[in-house]
Structure formats: C-alpha cells, structure tokens
Amino acid sequence: MDSERILTQLRAEGYEISPQYQDADLVVVNTCGFIDEAVQESLDAIGEALAENGRVIVTGCLGAKAGAAGGNLITETHPKVLAVTGPHATQEVMQAIHRHLPKPHDPFLDLVPEQGIRLTPRHYAYLKISEGCNHRCSFCIIPSMRGDLVSRPIGEVMREAESLVKAGVKELLVISQDTSAYGVDIKYRTDFVNGRPVRTRMTELCEALAALGVWVRLHYVYPYPHVDEVLPLMASGKLLPYLDIPFQHSHPDVLKRMKRPASGEKNIERVAAWRAICPDLTIRSTFIVGFPGETEAEFEHLLEFLQAAQLDRVGCFTYSPVDGAAANALANPVPEEIKLERLDRFMRLQETISEARLRRWVGRRVRVLIDGVDADEGQLIGRTTADAPDIDGVVRISPDPNSRHPIPAAIGEFAMVDIVDSDAHDLHAIYFKGDKQ
C-alpha cells in the first residue's frame, strides 16, 4: 500500500517510473523490518540499488529501526543513502524526492487513473482499513514500528473501495494488522458513506462492502465475539465465506506467553458454530511451533486442536527470535532440531486435513475468478471463494475434451467450472462457461 501511494503520487506529479536501475534518476526502496530475514533482504536491496544506481532514498518499517551504534540502522549500514523515512510517510518521501530530483514542469495529471497505481493485477486490490496495532504480542515488533491502531474513517475506506470497483476491480482484500478491532481507536465514530451515517466498525464496513457486488475477502480477523455478526453475510453470499484468523497456537499457557489477543475464546466451539451458520466457510490460519517454553504436551494440544478444528488452509513457522521482541527474554528456548521435528509433524497432519477439506469440492460446479494462463499446460489458472491470491491454492482449469471450442483466456473475469480432482493444495477443473458467454 505504501509503495502504491508513493507510485501514485509520483505519477500524479509527472514523474516517470522505471523498472531498471540504469534508466532511473533516483531509486526509492520500500523496506520491511518485521523478521530478521526481511531486515537482511531490505539491507541487501539497498546495497544493490546503491551499487547499480547510487542515488537511493529509503522508506518503510526498517527506516524507523535503530542500529547497533544507537543511530539509524540504515544510515549506519549504508551511509551513502540520500534520505531515510519510516513507514506510512508518503509526504516525507515525496519531500525527499523533491529535494533530490525536482518535480517535472508539466505534470500529466490526467495520466493517473482514478483508483491510483496498484501493484496487484487489475482485477483484485488490497483495501487497507487501518494501520498499527493495540496489542503487544511478545513475538512481534509491529506496534513498536508502526504504533497503536489508527483506523481510517469508514467514509474514506468506502470511497476508495467504490473507486476501485469503478475501475474494474472484482475482488477486494480487506487488510490491516487487526481487522476485528477496526474503529475501536475512534470509538466507532459515525462517518458518512454516500451521505448516509455509518459507524466505523467491522460489521458495518462488511455490510457496506457487501453492497458493492464484488468479492470481499477478510484478512487478519481475531475471533472476538462480534465476528459472529458477519457470518450471516457470508452465508447469504454477500461476503466471501472466508476468514483469515491467525490463531498462532491453541494451548492457553502458550497463548498467554505470546500475549495473544482473544486468547480466552473457545475457538473450537466458535469454528463449529460458524460452520453451522455457513457450511462453505473456509478458514485460513497461521501457527508458530517451538515458541519459548513450548512443552511436548503443549505441542500435542496444538495437534489435537488442528485435528478438531479441521481448518482449510494453514501456514506454520518455527519460532525465530525477532530483534527487539519481548519473547526473546522468555525462559526455555526450544532447541532448533525439536522445532523442526514439530514443524514436520504439524505439516504432515495438516496436509491430510487440507487434502480431505479440498476433496469436498470435487463434483461441484463453482464460480472462479480467472487470474492467469499456464500456456505450457494449456490451462487457465483461477481461484474459488476459498483461495486468497498468492497465499492459498489455485484451480487449474482444462478445456472440456468433448468441446471443439477453445476456452477464452478471460483474465480478470468470472467463469463456471466443474471440479474434477484435488490434491493437498490445488483443485483441478473442466471449463464450463464464462460469465460473458
């Protein structure tokens, strides 16, 4: 989102964007400082930009990070960068750019599409509803880099959503650090959506987005009680039946050590109740194994949770200490080989669950959104309501062997397909017909 805002502003002011270091007068590097690998990757990217171009401005989370000598990590590592700003600092980045590369005289304002410049394909877009987080999970340094929760007023979010839909977007992916907490910082203040008073709150936002008639997918939802309010919208097909809920663990003591939000919720019962309302609900989650102090019994609790919850899509990481995170000081770190062994047991169990969950789709005729083409295989690549782009699986769509007509490669369009097979991650389908046929 930050990159997109900066790109939009640059284009609005008449700057041209170059994909090559050599053709650029200046390079802007947007960094991430969340995990140590990302820090190294960002520092390497800055080094590469300095070597290839030499005139570099750095922005993003890493810009706010202190270095070993107590100064700024980036200027300590790469003293030649022209300027450094922290995250969400579009205006500061623009000021630095103006200083080092003055604005072109004749800005082609009309070249900027109404919805701005997006990095995602034209048919889906991320909609950021808030920034920062009021929680203090012990393994996470996002609040120290991005600050407490700041929600965008619902009127502003809806204006952006409407303009994206007007520009042809078919799927909106709602993102934030804590989607369930939307509006809590501004006491769910009432704002105006097309002249109508609406509270800045998750349920009201979902209702407003559902009325736009496109796919709306919710990410980073914590299982607070009010999440139940959006399930009827999912059951009636107005909101995608999809919840991305980062549970991270199941054992109450581990969750306490992690200082996780909503850790007291009875998650198995909640999942069962949601599925009773909306049987097609897809639940995606992420987990950490080998968190400091995790005992074999606590880990087995997690495996039992997985077995009982039957989640559809799951990612799992071994705990890795992040510079500056409170969890680093916790007692009894888990040895690396035990972490890896637990990861393996976790993934083997989840693979059988994911496989069984996906098999339920075989034999159904479903609507998919076409993302692309695999020319080598002669297939279209699409997604059902159960697949978020980039993180979940895909549907590989082949032509009907009994039809003499080639399938139209209508990227960004919906189509109906017949699911004929599945594996641990993806579905396989035969094309039936496109929305426009």
Helix (H), strand (E) counts: the chain? 12, 18
Is residue 151 at the binding interface for ligand SF4, with CB under 6 A as the rule? Answer: no
For the CB of residue 81, give the shortest distance to ligand SF4 in the complex, in Å: 27
- Closer residue to ligand SF4 in complex, CB, 21/224: 224
CA gap 183, 146 in Å, rounded: 17
Is residue 34 at the binding interface for ligand SF4, with CB under 6 A as the rule? Answer: no
For the CB of residue 184, give the shortest distance to ligand SF4 in the complex, in Å: 13
SS3 26: coil
Expressed in angstroms, the distance from the first to the final Cα of the chain is 35
Q: Which among 117, 124, 212 has a CA at the least distance from the CA of 173?
A: 124
* Choices 44-52, 112-120, 134-142, 330-338 (CB under 6 A): range interacting with ligand SF4: 134-142
* Choices 3-11, 84-92, 130-138, 364-372 (CB under 6 A): range interacting with ligand SF4: 130-138
CB 151 within 8 A of CB 182: yes
Q: Which among 82, 128, 100 has a CA at the least distance from the CA of 10?
A: 100
DSSP state of 229: G
CA gap 380, 364 in Å, rounded: 18
- Closer residue to ligand SF4 in complex, CB, 138/310: 138
Is residue 143 at the binding interface for ligand SF4, with CB under 6 A as the rule? Answer: yes
* Choices 132-140, 200-208, 225-233, 413-421 (CB under 6 A): range interacting with ligand SF4: 132-140
Is residue 135 at the binding interface for ligand SF4, with CB under 6 A as the rule? Answer: yes
Is residue 224 at the binding interface for ligand SF4, with CB under 6 A as the rule? Answer: no
Is residue 177 at the binding interface for ligand SF4, with CB under 6 A as the rule? Answer: yes
CA gap 93, 96 in Å, rounded: 5
List phi, psi (to 5°) of 433. Answer: -160, 155
* Choices 129-137, 331-339, 380-388, 390-398 (CB under 6 A): range interacting with ligand SF4: 129-137
CA gap 174, 135 in Å, rounded: 19
Is residue 140 at the binding interface for ligand SF4, with CB under 6 A as the rule? Answer: yes
SS3 290: coil
* Choices 140-148, 188-196, 249-257, 327-335 (CB under 6 A): range interacting with ligand SF4: 140-148
For the CB of residue 179, give the shortest distance to ligand SF4 in the complex, in Å: 10
How many residues bind to ligand SF4 according to rule CB under 6 A?
10
CA gap 237, 23 in Å, rounded: 48
CA gap 45, 39 in Å, rounded: 10
Letters for 254-293 (x = contact with ligand SF4 by CB under 6 A, - = none) are: -------x--------------------------------
User: What residues have CB less than 8 Å from 229, skipping those under 6 apart?
Assistant: 202, 203
61 sits in the region (left: phi over 0; alpha: psi -120 to 50; else beta) called alpha
List phi, psi (to 5°) of 370. Answer: -85, 120
- Closer residue to ligand SF4 in complex, CB, 12/38: 38
* Choices 103-111, 139-147, 186-194, 414-422 (CB under 6 A): range interacting with ligand SF4: 139-147
| Residue among 137, 174, 366, 419 that touches ligand SF4 (CB under 6 A) | 137
Is residue 133 at the binding interface for ligand SF4, with CB under 6 A as the rule? Answer: yes
* Choices 44-52, 131-139, 168-176, 305-313 (CB under 6 A): range interacting with ligand SF4: 131-139
CB 388 within 8 A of CB 284: yes
Is residue 178 at the binding interface for ligand SF4, with CB under 6 A as the rule? Answer: yes
- Closer residue to ligand SF4 in complex, CB, 288/397: 288
- Closer residue to ligand SF4 in complex, CB, 178/191: 178
CA gap 381, 395 in Å, rounded: 6
Q: What angle do CA 434, 376, 369 make, to 5 degrees?
A: 25
Interface with ligand SF4 (CB under 6 A): 133, 135-137, 140, 142-143, 177-178, 261
